[in-house]
């Protein structure tokens, strides 16, 4: 099974500043089609997760362009370029390279 | 906009079977998407349970495989989860979700609101 590890577990960033969340997989999630099977979700309190990034770097429709994803193979990053109050949430990475699909433990993002 | 709604008992006795149904609208569940169940214990992270592909293939988390069944009822546009021999460790919010394959099968673009299932006597 692929183990997903996120860092940090929690993060406090000032409004307008950059937030960076890291995700590492225990084996590569880069497929032969040159796509990384890695997605990011945002989960606000009392709500289901919402997909924000897929294929490691493609923004879901309607997601603000301050959200970006990068990385390949085993190391990935979610960046919010200018933190807004509505971005406070827990963020999860998930690999869908192989079953069982697996999630990182989550990173709680707060306002400093 | 596809909508998913979980339904089922909120309280299940230990050793009994948890049964949940996800009703999908207005999208047809036999229209090429995959469908999944994911759970989240209170205050904890997400765990993928099982999925049913548009080809009829079923995939399971090995950690739950012996206790899980996923099925589909196309006449009702629903899919279901059964988890047998439950314990307190199965207490969680259970989400159903759609995977339209547009981002590669295995990632979920639409989720239900989730339903809390508590295992307790």
pLDDT tens column, B55-83: 889 999 999 999 999 999 999 999 999 99
Chain A residues whose CB is inside 8 A of the B109 CB are: 51, 60
- What are the CA-CA distances from residue A84 to residues A21, A24, B120 (Å)? 15, 25, 40
DSSP B67: G
The whole-angstrom separation of Cα A17 and Cα A86 is 14
Q: Give the residue ranges of chain A where pLDDT is below 70.
A: none
Nearest to B107 among A47, A48, A96 (CB): A96
User: For residue B121, what is the DSSP state?
Assistant: -
Residues B11-66 have pLDDT tens digits of 999 999 999 999 999 989 988 899 999 999 999 999 999 999 888 899 999 999 99
Q: Provide the token pair at B66.
A: 């012996």
And the tokens for B77? Answer: 């546009």
- Nearest-Cα distance to chain B for A19, in Å, is 20
| Res B86 pLDDT > 80 | yes
CB A78 within 8 A of CB A40: yes
| C-alpha R_g of chain B | 14
First to last CA, chain A: 36
Which of B45, B63, B103 comes nearest A55 by C-beta?
Answer: B103
Smallest Cβ–Cβ distance between B106 and the set A37, A41, A50 belongs to: A37
Looking at chain B, which residue has its C-alpha nearest residue A9? B45
The answer to whether A25 and A4 are in contact (CB under 8 A) is yes
Interface contact flag, B104 A50, Cβ < 8 Å: no
pLDDT for residue B8:
96
Nearest Cα to A79, choosing from A102, A101, A103, A63? A63
């Amino acid at each position: 099974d692929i183990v997903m590890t996120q860092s940090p577990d929690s993060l406090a960033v000032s409004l307008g500043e950059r937030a960076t969340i890291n995700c590492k997989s225990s084996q590569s999630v880069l497929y032969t089609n040159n796509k990384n099977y890695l997605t990011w979700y945002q989960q606000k309190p009392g709500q289901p997760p919402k997909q924000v990034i897929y294929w490691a770097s493609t923004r879901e429709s309607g997601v603000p362009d301050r959200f970006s994803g990068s990385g390949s193979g085993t190391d990935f990053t979610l960046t919010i370029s200018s933190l807004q109050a509505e971005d406070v949430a827990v963020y999860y990475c998930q690999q869908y390279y192989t079953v069982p699909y697996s999630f990182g433990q989550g990173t709680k993002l707060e306002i400093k | 906009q596809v909508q998913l709604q979980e339904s089922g008992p909120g309280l299940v006795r230990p050793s009994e079977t948890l049964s949940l149904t996800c009703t999908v609208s207005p999208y047809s569940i036999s229209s090429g998407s995959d469908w999944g169940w994911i759970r989240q214990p209170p205050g904890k992270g997400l765990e993928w349970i099982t999925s049913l592909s548009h080809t009829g293939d079923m995939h399971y988390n090995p950690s739950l495989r012996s206790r899980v069944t996923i099925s589909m009822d196309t006449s009702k546009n629903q899919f279901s989860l059964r988890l047998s021999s439950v314990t307190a460790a199965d207490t969680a919010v259970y989400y159903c979700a759609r995977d339209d394959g547009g981002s590669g099968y295995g990632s979920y673009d639409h989720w239900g609101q989730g339903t809390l299932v508590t295992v307790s006597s």
